[in-house]
Structures are given as structure tokens and as C-alpha cells.
Amino acid sequence: MTIREVLLSVDGVEATYNHAIRALSGVNLTVRTGEIVALLGANGAGKTTALKALCGLLAAERGQITAGRIRYDGEDIAQRSPAELVRAGLVQVLEGRHCFRSLSVEDNLIVGGQARGWSRAALRRELERVYTLFPRLRDRRGSLAGLTSGGEQQMTAIGRALMARPRLLVLDEPSMGLAPLVVESIFAALTALNRDEGLTLLVAEQNSTVALRHAHRAAVLENGRTVLDGAADALRDRDDIKAFYLGVGLGAAA
Ligand SMILES: Nc1ncnc2c1ncn2[C@@H]1O[C@H](COP(=O)(O)OP(=O)(O)OP(=O)(O)O)[C@@H](O)[C@H]1O
């Protein structure tokens, strides 16, 4: 996959909640078209806040961007609504596998396609694309999403985002609470989308071992600020960095 122009840039972003609690104090991040970028950091480092800031979701949590600039596809997006950003191709999968629990898996996916107003034929084609990527969802398409496994719910949440045909897919902790094999299959699907379709990905993860295995580059947050930014393979080999910033024990870092 060829990596091209800068699709997203976050420069010196600071943010607070309730105009009082400082959550971000200098986040810098660049995502180029065709890249997989991992956003790493320990619990509470500011990953979720950073993703919400760039997806237009901070205001809904009484959060404010107080400094810095966020540009997507060459435009300042700090004031854009999440719906506008989805139409522009910036689509997020929030932490915690947000599915409509009382809708079927397939209806969840269809809801994701509504942002694009697909025709019937196009909708069918997009559903097929998701089912090819996640065959388990084809088997479970008639089941209520709330009654499927954690992994299937995460796949449904990702599938729903894919139905909007993102240019940049932003994911918050896709591995959370899932068994290692399920995590591996989700990351394998995301990597295949990146490789085969050039989908650009920004993935926040506490599971730095998995994220660094799949990402091209990574940024590390500590106390709301970017402290490291570099090639994923360089960070992967630095056990000292992982132990210091990511809380990965030296013995478990391999
Ligand atoms: N809605 C909120 N209101 C007030 N403070 C918040 C809110 N959400 C997060 N914070 C605070 O902002 C800081 C950054 O939290 P954030 O959730 O962004 O970190 P994180 O790296 O995503 O951690 P985790 O992996 O635990 O979600 C923390 O100090 C947290 O307590």
C-alpha cells in the first residue's frame, strides 16, 4: 500500500472537561492516506479524549478544545459535527462495542449505511462486503445484536462503520475485553482492509503489543500529551519504551 498525503493532522491540541478538568495538554498526531496509526498510552492517558476531539464528539461530554488545530482532508474540522464528518468519510467506532442491542445484526449494519443513502442494490453490495470480511456476521445476521458474543458485537460495530464507506476509520480500543484469538481476527480483518482497499486507520489501544504488530506508525500519549511518535517496528523492538510508557512488563513485552 502506498502511503500518500496527510489525511489527518492534530497539532498541539489541548482539551478540558467542564472547562475545569484538563484532559489533553499537547497532542500531536499525523495520519497519512493508506496508513495504520496506533494511538497508545496507559489507562487515562487521554486516548479516548483525543479521538473524541477529532471526531466532533467532545461537546457531547461537556468537553472543550482549548488550543491547537485539527485538520482532516485539508480543512479545519474543530467545529464540524460528527454527522458532517461521517459524510466526509471520517467514521468512528467508539469504545465498548456500541450496537443497537434490540436490532438484528443486519439491521445494525443497515443503519450504518443510512449515512450514505445507499440504493437497495448498493446496500446489498455493502452488506456482502461486510459479510465477506466477517463471515461470522453472515451466520448471525438475523440474531439480535444484544444476544451475540462480545467479539460479534465488536464486529457488528466495525461493520456498521464500514457501511458508511469511511476514508479514515477511527477505532477506540477494539480489543477491549475480548479473547486473544478474537482480537487477532479483528485486527487481521482491519489489516486486510488497509492492504486491499487502502482504508486508512487510526486505532487507540491499551494493548500495545497487538497494535504495534499491525500498525505502520504509532504515537504514545502520557498525561494528555504526545511523548513519542515513530515507526511501529522501531517501537515494537524497544522493550524499555513499552515498559516505561505503556506499562508492559519487560517479560511480557515480546
Ligand atoms: N467525561 C469526562 N468528564 C471528566 N473527565 C473525563 C471524562 N472522560 C475522561 N476524563 C478524564 O480525562 C483524562 C483522560 O481520559 P481518557 O478516557 O481520554 O483516557 P484513555 O487514555 O482513553 O484511558 P482509558 O483507556 O482508561 O479509556 C482522565 O484523567 C479522565 O479521568
pLDDT tens readout for residues 119-159:
999 999 999 999 999 999 999 999 999 999 999 999 999 99
- Mean pLDDT calculated for residue range 205-212: 91
Candidate from 27, 48, 222 with most ligand 1 atoms within 8 A of CB, to mutate: 48
Among positive and negative, which fits the CA dihedral 70, 87, 100, 146?
negative
CB 65 within 8 A of CB 15: yes
Rounded CA-CA distance 74/227 in Å is 25
* Mutation to probe ligand 1, out of 19, 47, 49 (largest number of atoms < 8 A from CB): 49
Pairing of strands 21-32, 6-17: antiparallel
Condensed to tens digits (0 to 9), the pLDDT of residues 46-95 reads: 999 999 999 999 999 999 999 999 999 999 998 899 999 999 999 999 88
Buried b (16+ CB within 10 A) or exposed e, 38-47: bbbbbeebbb
Domain borders along the chain are 6-89+167-252, 98-165
The interface pTM score, or ipTM, of the predicted complex is 0.94
User: In the CATH scheme, what is the code of domain 6-89+167-252?
Assistant: 3.40.50.300
| d(CA 1, ligand 1 centre) in Å | 34
Q: Where are the beta strands (DSSP E) in 33-95?
A: 36-40, 63-72, 75-76, 90-93
User: Would the pTM count as exceeding 0.90?
Assistant: yes
Which residues have C-beta atoms less than 6 Å from ligand 1? 17, 21, 23, 41, 43-49, 61, 206
Q: What is the mean pLDDT of the chain?
A: 91
Nearest residue (CA) to ligand 1, atom 25:
43
